[in-house]
Amino acid sequence: MTSPFSALDLSGSGLTAQRLRMGLIAANLANASSATTPGATPYQAEFPVFATEANGQVAVVAIAHDPTPGPLRYEPGNPLANAQGEVRLSNVNPIQQLTDLVEATRSYQANATALMDTKTVDLAAINILG
């Protein structure tokens, strides 16, 4: 038997997942212009890995890192530059992150709307029974 709260649980798990995704995007954007010393790994973009549970809810199974190396920028005066005068930057692509942020925001809004619609239907059913 299905729980009367299962639709609320589904929307709630979607809201939680998208909120986490937006938080990771914010961290990525905050670190987009970071650099590091030669030989060290600069900040790598993070993204959530989602899975669907048996009950249909969304679960975050991991926070993954993009292993793609960031670009090198020629800055011979930078104290973080290597022997060739290049600085390794973060691999965060701000344009891609902003696109992902729009998508995550719209998914969050869709889940919030579904949650509110479910609540309205449930309250109407209670009023009919009451």
pLDDT in tens, 19-49: 999 999 999 999 999 988 888 889 999 999 9
pLDDT at 53 over 80: yes
Question: What's the pLDDT tens digit per position in 117-130?
Answer: 988 888 888 888 76
Q: How confident is the model at residue 84 (pLDDT cuts 50, 70, 90)?
A: very high
Average per-residue pLDDT for the chain = 91
Number of neighbouring beta carbons within 10 Å of residue 15 = 19
- Rounded to an integer, what distance in angstroms lies between the CA atom of residue 120 and that of residue 130? 15
The three-state (H, E, C) secondary structure of 39-88, written as one string = CCCCCCCEEEEEEECCCCCEEEEEEEECCCCCCEEECCCCCCCCCCCEEE
pTM: 0.85
pLDDT at 1 over 50: no
- What does the block give as tokens for 119? 């609540």
